[in-house]
Amino acid sequence: MLKYKAPLRDMRFLIDEVFDYRAHYAGLANGGEATPETIAAILEGAAALCEEVLAPLNLPGDREGCHFSDGEVRAPAGFKEAYAQYAAGGWQGLPFPAEYGGQGLPVSVNVFKSDMMATANWSFNMYPGLSVGCINTILKFGTPAQKALYLPPLVSGAWTGTMCLTEPQCGTDLAQITTRAVPQPDGTYRITGTKMFISAGDHDLAANIIHIVLARLPDAPSGTRGISLFVVPKFLVGPDGATGARNGVMCGAIERKMGIHASPTALLNFEQAAGAMIAEPNKGLEAMFTFMNTARIGIAIQGVAHAEASFQGALPYAKERRSMRALSGKKDPEFPADALIWHPDVRRMLLTQKAIAEGGRAMIYGAAQMADKMFEAAAAGDQAAYDEFDGKLGFYTPILKGFLTELGLEAANLGMQVFGGHGYIHENGMEQIVRDARIATLYEGTTGIQALDLLGRKVLLGTRGKCVRDFTATMWRFSRRRLFAGGPIGRMARTLARRALQWNAMTTRIMLRARGDRESIGAASFDFLMYSGYVMMAHFWALQAARAAACVASGTGGESAAFYLAKIQTAEFYFERLLPRADAHRKGALASAGSVMRMDNDSFGFD
């Protein structure tokens, strides 16, 4: 069974050295408590929880799966006890206001914790993970009474939350929602309809589950403009916060699925379930995006987590497993064959995993600083600042979710490949990572949906290319100070400068083409997203390499000298071996939509 070790050295490198979170927190209104000592304690405590409690449950939880009987779901053995330990440790409340029982820390602190939890046991992470978006939605749109009633037990972890969007007849196209909400004389609503694919929709870990549900009022206009948002508890909640009778929401089934077996994906039937509206009537979808964007960042972490988990499994195996001799001669002469890690193709796979995991982590930790500022602006009621950082994070979100989950799945497959036939065996844990990773490119919007969101909504319609220009300006500011430097940092800087110009030129060409051919947006969107992801990750790898090189040059490396050298060498590998993939995506994005659209639908297949 695989053993998880929290990558604390890499995390501290990003937190302390690359992004200078100490200075970042000093500039936040709620950053005063996020001292280096506090952050260190949180990292160590979360690492212990993940290594000693959650990771050992991962493989047996996958093997056992969840149990469904008579409308009730039971998690695998050990999960309930682990969740009780998680809640008792105050882990759920890290980023939430103290007035509701939280610790009031910046949201980035929760990202650090989630990074470790997701890698140690993704299935377990989904139970409390969905609660984060539920809490954020109620925080932003709930009434004072709703906040007082629901937030304390959600923040403490005594209750968990879900989001209920998808229905049997519609997934991404939420305009087709048919769940109804009928107003009652007392101001509540009765919710009737069926929701499916609800992660952690029912379980036995918490005393109550709070569902955030999209539904239509009787007089609602059609389409997405007629959707409202409701909070619907599994058990009714009295004015004093005490749970009462079972509400009219029942689990009809849990899915038999490819992966994440230890987390239930539920079909929920709402039959005259009592609920309360949050946000304004017919504007529920706008409010739900608070939940959805939170979830999308969480899924981006999943891409990094599976790359990290697969790398941690593949690396020791490649060092221990022996097969043939290295092409350049014996490397381990005391053994009958050399270790796998001596073979160039195995090293290619390991370095690809490492580059994806560490590059993706840097992208997410960089985005987390913007999330801190966005939530600070929301708390202060500073709409202008909120809009600024919401826009910046909105540009990152589809790239992080779409690109990192695609690469996370690639890294998971590479880890299984390093194991060879042994990777196909359940007991070794590598095939589970592949199965668990596969869903990440699908839920919270498929990669294609993320691509349309990026190119269509964010780049073309939302900012007319400004979001790309803003990010490439950041790339240029980094590059121009190093354009004439020697060695790998200079080469990276010059490459980034060229890519910044190329990204802008490509965006302009697509914008001009879209004026006369709307289908060209959809045809170009996937390749545009992947190109954007590779170039964005290159920027974050250059940041890491430059910082590592500065430490080596100043002589401050000490015992970390090998770590810094590995950073520089991994960045070089990324620039030489992975970044060139962007050229193929650029060519695809700029190709005519004709080859995609001209075939007659009936010609795709023949009887």
Residue positions counted in the chain: 607
Residue found by looking up tokens 């990202």 in the block = 111
Q: State the number of CA atoms in the 13 A half-sphere of 413 facing the CB.
A: 7
254 vs 103: CA distance, rounded Å: 34
**3-class secondary-structure state, position 116:** helix
- DSSP secondary structure, 554-592, as one string: HT--GGGHHHHHHHHHHHHHIIIIITTHHHHHHHHHHS-
Give first-to-last CA distance, the chain, whole Å. 47
By the 8 A CB rule, do 85 and 49 touch?
yes
**3-class secondary-structure state, position 267:** strand
**Contacts with 358 (C-beta within 8 Å, 6 or more apart), sequence order:** 10, 544, 567, 570
Give Cα 274 distance to the centre of its chain: 32
Q: Which residues are part of the catalytic machinery? A: 444
Nearest to 112 by CA among 4, 14, 3, 33: 14
333 vs 413: CA distance, rounded Å: 31
Q: And the tokens for 20?
A: 């200078």
Number of C-beta neighbours around residue 426 at 10 A: 12
Under the phi-then-psi rule, with left for phi > 0, alpha for psi from -120 to 50, and beta for the rest, what region is 84? alpha
**3-class secondary-structure state, position 528:** helix
Is 204 buried (19+), middle (13-18) or exposed (0-12) by CB count in 10 A? middle
- DSSP secondary structure, 174-232, as one string: GGG---EEEE-TTS-EEEEEEEEEEET-S-SSSSEEEEEEEEB-TTPPSGGGGBEEEEE
By the 8 A CB rule, do 251 and 268 touch?
yes
Strands 159-164 and 208-215: what pairing? parallel
